[in-house]
Structure 1
Amino acid sequence: MDTNESRIGTDYPVGELTRAAVTASNHADAATRNRAHERFARWAAVLRGMATGRLRIGSRRPVADLPVWATPRVVRGGFATGEALAGGPLRPHEAALAELAGVPARRDALFDHHLTADGLAGLTTLLESGAYRVDLPEDAALLTVAWLVRAGDREAAAAVLDELRPYADRLCFGPVPHDGQTYGPDLVWRETAGEARDRLARRGPNPRVAAMREALTVWNPFADRLLDLWLDTVRDGRVGAEFPTGWHDRATALVARYHQLAAAHPHNGKHRRPKTNLGILRSATEETVGGRPLTARARGLLQHAIDSMVRKRGRPSSPEHRALRERQAAEAALPMLHTMARVVVSRLAALPQDLGVRSVEAVTGPVTDEEAATSGLPVGTPIPEPLRRPIRRALAGTVPELIAAGVVPSAEVLATIVPQITATAAAAPYADEVLRSLMAATYRAFRNRRSLLLTNLERQVGLDELPWVRAVAAHCAPGAGTRAAAASALHRLGELALDGFPATLLPNPLVRELATLDRESGGQLPWVEELAADIFEGTFSAKYAAAARLAGDLLTDSLYARYYDIDYAALPTGADVQRRRDAAASTSADFDALCIARAGTGPSWDVVAANGMIVEQAQILTTHNLATLVGSVRVRPLTGWHEVALRTFAVVTGLTARLARNPRPLATVKDIAYAWRQMIFFMSLPQVGDPAEVVADLWRELERTAPDVRDRLRPAVAGLAEAAVGERFDADGRGGAGRRLLGWTMNGHWLLTGSGR
């Protein structure tokens, strides 16, 4: 087995396989079981590939018989399954093209057809009209070849074909025909109209709602009939004292009716429970009809049930009881959500399926006359909030609009939509408009590629490694205008991230977008990723030392440096990182040693916790891209640093409030520590002024929180107050009344005890 695989191990895939198997076997929902079966098959493929050596988990080329640039299917945790997303059965557009072109329904036959005169003409028509879609990067390969032929660069086209041909029988390299409709470059969306439609189309009847409606329309009226039946036997308040003429015939009919109802209405099983009022009445009726006298206990239960039912709702013939049942019947008559969902699904189907929704109101307005005729819903029925929510997820708007609307609730979600913006800047250097559109589409598709789990400091596959992208590099000529546009987009994206989510680490996909924009603007800033503690190998790449030096330029002698006890002037220099490999290696080794020493882990049985402490020190030294954004990109929040620090503290207190009821609180502790560190960074910037004033605001905000939150955070705020006036922590992170707040520890975390000691 590959050394990377043996180091990573199979525990994680086996755990995921087991969870998928349990869900596939036991879940009540058929669609959920089917999805679990698919997950099970994928994790089984991962384990088979690891066992046979076909998969090299941890490598940037994880599938032995696929090129590094092929888009792999990746499951949770960054594990490749061995499949290529561009492989598998023919996609619908491939089958349609094979039939239209009269060629065998095989990928190699389609590949050859695209290279005929007719095939190239068809690709060129698609290029010039823009009537295509690039779902996977491979979809752009033959379109790029057609552009190169169109541009007269046949040598580059032939080179691309030489790299593609060995895989022509397995992978799809042709585009998906599409009508070409699109929005302006500033509009983005989290989900497409097609995805929202599919989500709503899967909505079936809610079992709880169905049970409630059944109770209101079937079992409550039936219970009333049983109650009426037994009330006719009451004399002087005693049930069963006298049975009037015809009573047994009525009771026999009701028992028969019960069995009919039970067979026809399976959603609500409350009537089967022997201790419910309905269950007691039904049982007593069946016993009496069967000629079996009621026991003393059964008679007592029956008396109590009837008395309580009359006391609570009155007799079934009373006005108040009738009014209650009328209200319940009206409530039950309201349309079911899955019925109204079908109306919204029809509206979504009429929109472009691969774009966002421009107007939520246009899709979620009241039911029209035409829709009422086909759906059976009353005209003017409003679409309720649970059905409006999925449409909002598909809303198309500018990023600030989507953040303000709550459609983008986190930096992780922001990272999923910014490639739609970054693609425009990344493709801007291509002078030819047709090529620019193609490269923008390729970029967007490439950014949907899921990251692989990597070891040995390997990097993710880059866009420029795709043969067809590399082939058009000679036709890329960035000018001052395109660099300025990329710089502007970089600044705006950094501003959105800090303004929108100041308490959150920049997620790796967002870091990659920032790095792309930086590169397109002509910069070479050291953007650092978040590293996973469970596979960290004890060393950082040279850019981490360079990022720490940038942080030192901004934070020397600051509150941040005092709080975390950083001597930025003594950090290993990163000046030669870009020029000489040996200098970079030396700088990286020095930075590794510094992080290990600061973590103070020593030999440890808990390797993951020790790794986490080391990675956390790297994040502290580098500020995890904050100093790069603020010091080099010159990002400034719209509301000012003081206000951003207070907003971040609000997140800290909100996270702390969750600790008491959290069965697995350590992940929340880490989130608190990340937010806390970012807050201290904001407080340390020169524009804030005296940090002690911000600390005073923090004390006031802390006093407004619940006692449990105050008890947990008081040592952290006290430690920050001490650092603000120049005091230092000891080697254990303790001050006078305060403590330094970190996220990782190999012992119990003091934040979880509430004592701070």
Structure 2
Amino acid sequence: MEGSDRHTGAGYSAGQLAKALFTAAAHEDAATRERAGERVRRWAAVLGGTLSGRLTVGSRTPVADLPAWVTPEVVRGGFATGTPAAGGPLTRHEAELAARAGVRPERKALFAHHLTEEGLAGLGELLDGGAYRVEFPEEAALPVVAWLLRAGDREGALEVLEAVSPYAGLLRFAPAPADAPPPDPEVMWRETAGEARDGVSGCEPNARVETMREALTVWNPFADELLALWLDTAEDGRVGARTDGEWRDRAAALLARYRELAAAHTRCAKHRKPKENLAILRSALEETVAGRALTPRAAGLLQRAVDSMVARRGRPGEERHAALRARQAAEASIPAHHLLARVVVARLADLPPDHGIRDVEAVLAPAREGEAPGVPAGTPIPPSIARVVRRAYAGTAEELIEAGVVPSAEVLATLVPRIAAAATAAPYADDALRSLMAANYLAFRRRRSLLLLNLEHQVRLDELPWVRAAARHRAADAGSRDDAHAALRRLGELALDAFPGTLPPNPFVRELAALSEEAGERLPWVEELAADIFMGTFSGKFPAAAKIAGELLRGGLYERYYGIDYAAVAAVPDVRRGAGRGAATSAEFDRMCGSTGSWGRPAENGVVIENAQILTTHNLATLVLRAGARPAAGWRELALRAFATAVTLTGRVRGNPRPLSTIKDAAYAWRHMIFFLSLPGAGDPLDFADELDRRLAAVPAPTRARLTPAVAGLRHVAAGGEFAPDGTAGEARRLRGWTTTRHWMAAAP
């Protein structure tokens, strides 16, 4: 993340702290107040550290007394709080280990214990069994030391210890045991079985559902009895015409039971509302049993209530009435969701809580006999509970996408590190070290990005001392490089096939970069930059990526649609990273993007950033030309899917008080469509424009009105035309996302 001085002062932190304080004090929800209280702690630490000088915002080493490899606690915006993520009080596991080992319950004492013969043996058992959990990369340091020592690499072990021992009293350098070893690296999940269990266990009785159940099982049958009692008094359709002592006794008994029911069943209040039929029948009964004659108004209300009840449902005991009550009784007999949740919670308790669920259908099978009180065998698990469990489905990335568990490219980006972890750990010949380095990679990828200035780069995996020492034991060869390239291609195809209209998120781009390095290819993968903290210049990988795009797209539809001169891009001198801080940049490329070399207003920055995205295709050309991505769907189909995304997003513009973000995303999807349409095998773009017109005919008029000029612009360029400098050609328009004036899509009716 690159930044400017506008977000590095104490003012931003103070503003965030004030928001958190207000929420912590005033929000009506206790859980929200508690979360806000934690934010208060973190932002107070950021503000205090910034004012005291202990924190340097924008630096790779933001905490004065900690090296870059220490995982920092990071809050929104990339600000470090000054607290190391792997620090804090002793965990329960550490306290238990200290008690077993007979050492002081302090981190420094535990560190020393791990280096004893007994401690190294314990680490070795963890390594060989594989049942451990690396939450932060630091927790892999001492297991690496243990492995290096038993491999005879004393020098490597001492190198790691020299780097980490100054922080022995501060950080956790060993992992906690897990319930089971990790599954096949190909298997991944969005949530764990433990998280699914927590989500389902929070299912409480639904007040509305329980109120309806009470109405169906208690008050409807009671209303039927009241109705039947009054019908017994009818002559020539007029109720209350004849009563006797036996009827009065039945009426008094029914009123007594009403009082018992009202005291025991308090959810449903309809029987107490004077205008409800049940209340009218009961009120008239009370008057009659008390020996008081009904007033003309009360008698009229009674007659109307009886007539309407009979007309709506029939007389109690008649076929129509009995069928209705049978249906309602069946509905009421369905066990409440919170009872079925207990069934699922019990099933989930038998699964490893740190892993996903491979056989979701077994967890969601209908209830079995005796699984929970009040739940008959064969009762299906309701969809609301099933949705929570399905989020923990464990499978390959392809299986999760097909199952609908991965709804967005952002979610996919959280899963694919497992693919990259397996590829980057593959060169380690030893099984135990390979598993450890894969776990270390995944923990490292969970590290949150810092706000950085001067085009500084985030800490890299090989900067971790234990990774450097272990790397000497890699057996990298052509086969492992081929495997990494295959994983790179697979990731590209996954993203393009599943989300062809979405910009690859930055975490996904980082995995592409890691895999290409593993494959021996330093490819220029570019991140999405934030317009509000852009400093007006691009690092050298941006012009390098634009040159790859030019190789693929020069002379084609994409170049002509966006008015690019890829020949001029190819002539930009190569830029290499400098030896000092930051990254070398290309002033010539900056000018091509419309930058003056310094930051401006967010809208101005956004236009410049979008120009760079257009020139580079934001990694699409690199995926196709260098990674060799060839999605199964084919380019024309991907173009149609990208168009569908643009349609969906455009439909959200009308009535949107803040439409620019939505327009921007729609323009990104449109750009992807133009890119796919420019590749060999995508077909004739004029025919494609005709297809878009046919599809637009089926969408709501406001959406059609916004996209028709864009389709006309595609047709105009496909037929050999060009846009004017302002991106127009008569009624036709070039669709872009950022603008410093009012966007034409926002101005449409």
TM superposition score normalised by structure 1: 0.88
From 739, 743, 747, the counterpart of 1:749: 743
Pair 1:184–1:255, CA change in 2 (3 A): same
Report the AA paired with residue 165 of structure 1: S
Change (3 A) 1:241 1:611: farther
CA distance in 2, matches of 1:738, 1:218: 66
Q: Provide the alpha-carbon RMSD of the alignment.
A: 3.5
Question: Structure 1 224/450 Cα, relative in aligned 2: closer, same or farther at 3 Å?
Answer: farther
Question: 2:476 is aligned with what amino acid?
Answer: P
> How far, CA to CA, are the matches of 2:256 and 2:170 in structure 1?
64
Greater relative contact order structure (CA < 8 Å, 6+ sep): 2
Contact 1:45 1:81 in 2 (8 A): no
* Residue number in structure 1 paired with 2:606: 612
User: Shift of the alpha carbon at 1:115?
Assistant: 1.4
Find the counterpart in structure 2 of residue 724 from structure 1: 718
Q: Is 1:351 aligned to residue 351 of structure 2?
A: yes
| 1:224 alignment partner in structure 2 | 224
| CA distance in structure 1 between the partners assigned to 2:604 and 2:239 by the alignment | 73
> Among 689, 697, 709, which residue is 2:691 paired with?
697
Task: Report what 2:112 is aligned to.
Answer: 112
Give the 3 Å change call, closer, same or farther, for CA 575–148 of structure 1 in structure 2. farther
- Is 1:233–1:244's contact at 8 Å kept on the other side of the alignment? no
Residue 290 of structure 1: how far off its partner (Å): 9.5
Unaligned regions of 5+ residues in structure 2, if any? none
Is the contact made by 1:5 and 1:50 (CA closer than 8 Å) also made in structure 2?
no
Corresponding residue for residue 427 of structure 1? 425
Equivalence for 2:732: 738
Matches of 2:187 and 2:583 in 1, distance apart?
43
Deviates further, 608-617 or 107-116: 608-617
8 Å contact kept, 2:501–2:669? yes
CA shift at 1:510, angstroms?
0.7
The offset of 1:213, in angstroms, is: 1.5
Sequence identity of aligned pairs in percent?
A: 58
Deviation at 1:6, TM superposition (A): 4.0
SS in 1 for 2:405: coil
**One-letter amino acid of the counterpart of residue 47, structure 1:** W
Residue 422 of structure 1: how far off its partner (Å): 0.9
Cα pair 2:664 2:736 within 8 Å, conserved: yes
For residues 705 and 288 of structure 2, what CA distance do their matches in structure 1 show?
64
Report SS of the residue matched to 1:732. Answer: coil
With over 3 angstroms needed to count, the CA separation of the structure-2 counterparts of 1:594 and 1:279, relative to structure 1, is farther
Sort the Cα spacing of 1:324 and 1:3 in 2 relative to 1 into closer, same or farther, 3 A: closer
Distance 2:287 2:390 in 1: 56
Instruction: Return the match for 1:713 from 686, 707, 710.
Output: 707
Q: Deviations over 1:611-631 (max 9, x none)?
A: 323322221121111011112
CA distance in 2, matches of 1:649, 1:307: 59
Could you tell which deviates more after superposition, 390-399 or 72-81? 72-81
- C-alpha distance 319-92 of structure 1, shift in aligned 2 (>3 A): same
Counterpart position of 2:564: 566
CA distance in 1, matches of 2:683, 2:446: 42
Q: In the alignment, which residue of structure 2 is the partner of 1:464?
A: 462
**Distance in 2 (alpha carbons) for counterparts of 1:582 and 1:575:** 20
Q: Which deviates further from its counterpart, 138-147 or 62-71?
A: 62-71
Change in CA separation of 1:281 and 1:99 when aligned onto 2, cut-off 3 Å: farther
Give 1:708's aligned amino acid: P
Give 2:416's match in structure 1, choosing from 415, 418, 432: 418
User: Are 1:142 and 2:146 counterparts?
Assistant: no
Contact 2:7/2:533 (CA < 8 Å) preserved in 1?
A: no
Q: Which runs of 5+ in 1 are unaligned?
A: 28-32
Residue from 4, 7, 12 that aligns with 2:8: 4
Alignment map for 1:515-526 (pairs within 5 Å): 515-526=513-524
Give 1:522 deviation, angstroms.
0.8
Instruction: Indicate the residue corresponding to 1:389 in structure 2.
Output: 387
Partner of 1:153: 153
SS of match in other structure, 2:732: coil
Structure 1 Cα separation of the partners of residues 527 and 415 of structure 2: 19
Q: Which residue of 2 aligns with 1:655?
A: 649
Partner residue, 1:514: 512
- Using a 3 Å threshold, how does the CA distance of structure 1 residues 449 and 283 change in structure 2: closer, same or farther? farther
Q: Any idea what the Cα deviations from partners look like across 1:632-654, whole Å, max 9, x if unmatched?
A: 21211212211211122122223
* Structure 1 residues 94-493: aligned runs within 5 Å: 94-178=94-178, 180-228=180-228, 261=261, 264-271=264-271, 276-278=276-278, 304-369=304-369, 372=370, 374-493=372-491
Tell me which amino acid in the other structure corresponds to 2:159: A
Q: Deviations over 1:688-746 (max 9, x none)?
A: 34322222222222223333332221111001111112222223322122111122234
Does the C-alpha gap of structure 1 residues 314 and 64 become closer, same or farther in structure 2, counting only changes over 3 Å?
farther
Q: Would you say how many aligned residue pairs link Structure 1 and Structure 2?
A: 741
Maintained 8 Å contact 2:14/2:47 = no
Equivalent position SS for 1:53? helix
- Partner residue in 2 for 1:26: 28
Say if 1:424 and 1:440, in contact at 8 Å, map to a contact too. yes
Alpha-carbon distance in structure 2 between the residues aligned to 1:259 and 1:594: 83
SS at match of 1:26: coil
SS for the counterpart of 1:503 is coil
> Contact (CA 8 Å) 2:343, 2:372: kept in 1 or not?
no
What residue identity is the alignment partner of 1:520? Answer: E
Q: 1:183 to 1:603 in 2, by over 3 A?
A: closer
AA paired with 1:50? V
2:234 touches 2:241 (CA, 8 Å); kept in 1?
Answer: yes
Aligned in 2, Cα 1:264/1:295: closer, same or farther, shift over 3 Å?
same
Q: 1:200 is matched by which residue type in structure 2?
A: V
Whether the aligned pair in 2 keeps the contact of 1:542 and 1:585 (CA below 8 Å) is yes
- Does the 8 Å contact 1:72/1:82 carry over to 2? yes
1:287 CA displacement: 8.4
Tell me the CA shift for residue 401 of structure 1: 2.0
Which residue of 1 is the match for residue 92 of structure 2?
92
What secondary structure sits across from 2:522 in the alignment?
Answer: coil
